[in-house]
Amino acid sequence: MARDIYIPAAFRCFQGFVVRDLKEFRKEQLMEIHLEHSEGHQPHCHRCGSRLGAYHGRHSMRLKHVRMMSWEVRICFYRNKHHCAECKKIRSERIDFLCPISPHLTKELSWWVNRLTEMSAVNQVSRLESIDKKTCYEVDKHILRNLLQGYKIPSIEALAVDEVYARSKVQLKPGENKDDLFFTVIIDARTRRVIWVTQSRRKEALDEFFELIGPAACQKIFVVATDQHEAYSQSVKQYCPGAKVIWDRFHLVQKFNEALNLDRDDELRRLVEAKKISKDYLLRRHKYKFLTKAENRSPSAQKHIEKISKMNHKIAQMEIIKEHFHQLFECPTYLEAKPMFDDCVRWAFESKARCLLQWLKSIGR
Ligand SMILES: [Zn+2]
């Protein structure tokens, strides 16, 4: 190494190697750090870890490292091959700073990729760091797996269970059905933390969790919030007979809106056929105006709804039912909420909102 080259401390951290040269490529904003084995370096097998024997050649390595002042950094060196008496084979030497998942990255960069994936989606990280998406996924998975070793499910009394869409239909494997495209996510309702995730949204997915925590822990659970997915309710009934199954507000409002939309669309179509409004009123962007609560609407959206409500009495009635339904969740007790819910059912019946009435009756049972 030339005496007059200053090597920053951050570049002197490659175990078993010393920096021989630094090369800068200003146009490409790239820096290459060239390494050579340090004196007295003892090679070890990358598989079994034992001391290696006779030298059997080398191959060049060019690892991507964490950026330095926005410049790309590459680590260049030769990796030696030796005979391993333990494996009885020619083996490459162990490189302590090499990422265990990819032979193209340093451990430091894989750590950085993992930190970034905590803040952002994997494909965004892949674009930011110019590392292919699959490598980013693999690195992230490897580090997470190490972090989760020894993880213990905390003691829980209130659970929330939900499904998330994990794969597209194209990725359906033989013998799987639509339920297998989901993950079941189990959340501690008190801390709002995800405590477990299982594959698929079948009953067996939640069964697996209850079997894992055991009957004693199941007995402590007194409430489980789910969407209206029947398989989850059945699993709770079987494993936690003492727990109350409740439907969470988000899913109830979602299903309520779906039913209401069907009835409202019928009325809007009737207005279009009578040539009272243009076809544009059936567009999706106008539908969203109806979905928001009155207090959150913009003045123009409010005007739009008032105009239609004046033209069609049934739509006006359905708006009142919707606002009443939202207020229901503010009730502190069941006794206060029940009459409000009954109002919604009665009004849906009186205004002949067929789909809405059917849905309200289905949850009222
Ligand atoms: Zn070996």
Is the pLDDT confidence value at 104 over 90?
yes
pLDDT band, residue 23 (cuts 50/70/90):
very high
Q: How do residues 190-213 score in pLDDT, each as one tens digit?
A: 998 999 999 889 999 999 999 999
Q: What is the pLDDT of residue 206?
A: 92
Q: What is the pLDDT of residue 160?
A: 92
Q: How far is the CA of 80 from the centre of ligand 1 (A)?
A: 14
Maximum distance among all Cα pairs of the chain, rounded to whole angstroms = 92
Q: How far is CA 206 from CA 33, 227, 238, 333, in A?
A: 51, 13, 11, 29
pLDDT band, residue 186 (cuts 50/70/90):
very high
Q: What is the pLDDT of residue 5?
A: 66
State the sign of the Cα–Cα–Cα–Cα dihedral 226, 227, 228, 234. Answer: negative
Alpha carbons 61 and 49: distance in angstroms, whole number: 20
Asked whether 347 and 317 are in contact (CB, 8 A), the reply is: yes
**Which residues lie below 8 Å from residue 89, measured CB to CB, with a gap of 6+?**
83
Alpha carbons 195 and 208: distance in angstroms, whole number: 14
Q: How far is the CA of 135 from the centre of ligand 1 (A)?
A: 26
Q: Which of these, 267, 331, 262, 253, lies nearest to 305 by C-alpha position?
A: 267
Q: How far is the CA of 66 from the centre of ligand 1 (A)?
A: 30
Higher pLDDT, 306 or 35: 35
Q: Per-domain residue ranges for the chain?
A: 11-97, 99-151, 158-247, 250-364
Q: How far is the CA of 201 from the centre of ligand 1 (A)?
A: 44
Q: How far is the CA of 209 from the centre of ligand 1 (A)?
A: 40
Is the pLDDT confidence value at 72 over 90?
yes
Q: How far is the CA of 85 from the centre of ligand 1 (A)?
A: 7
Is the pLDDT confidence value at 290 over 70?
no
Q: What is the pLDDT of residue 118?
A: 84
Least confident of 183-187, 266-270, 306-310, 355-359: 306-310
Token pair of 82 as six digits = 């030796």
Is the pLDDT confidence value at 179 over 80?
yes
User: How many C-beta atoms surround the C-beta of residue 246 within 10 A?
Assistant: 14
Q: How far is the CA of 118 from the centre of ligand 1 (A)?
A: 35
Q: What is the pLDDT of residue 52?
A: 94
Is the pLDDT confidence value at 283 over 80?
no
Least confident of 210-219, 262-271, 304-313: 304-313
Q: What is the pLDDT of residue 348?
A: 85
Is the pLDDT confidence value at 361 over 90?
no
Q: Which fold has domain 158-247?
A: Nucleotidyltransferase; domain 5 (3.30.420)
Stretch 322-327: mean pLDDT:
85
Mean pLDDT of the chain: 86
Q: How do residues 106-155 score in pLDDT, each as one tens digit?
A: 999 998 998 898 888 888 999 998 899 999 999 888 888 888 888 888 89
Is the pLDDT confidence value at 339 over 50?
yes
Q: How far is the CA of 185 from the centre of ligand 1 (A)?
A: 42
**Which ipTM score applies to this complex?**
0.97
Token pair of 179 as six digits = 């339920």
* Bridge partners for 224 per DSSP: 159, 245
**Which residues lie below 8 Å from residue 82, measured CB to CB, with a gap of 6+?**
43, 45, 52, 53, 54, 55, 56, 90, 91, 93
Stretch 250-271: mean pLDDT:
84
Name the burial class of residue 321, with classes exposed (0-12), middle (13-18) and buried (19+) by CB atoms within 10 angstroms of its CB: buried
Q: Which long-range contacts (CB under 8 A, 24 or more apart) does 191-198 make?
A: 191/154, 195/153, 195/154, 195/156, 196/153
What φ, ψ does residue 71 adopt, rounded to 5°? -85, 145
Q: Are strands 244-247 and 158-165 parallel, antiparallel or unpaired?
A: unpaired
Q: What is the pLDDT of residue 149?
A: 83
Is the pLDDT confidence value at 237 over 70?
yes
Is the pLDDT confidence value at 273 over 90?
no
Q: How far is the CA of 55 from the centre of ligand 1 (A)?
A: 14
* Bridge partners for 163 per DSSP: 184
Q: Are strands 89-92 and 71-84 parallel, antiparallel or unpaired?
A: antiparallel
Stretch 284-291: mean pLDDT:
64
State the sign of the Cα–Cα–Cα–Cα dihedral 293, 299, 304, 306. Answer: positive
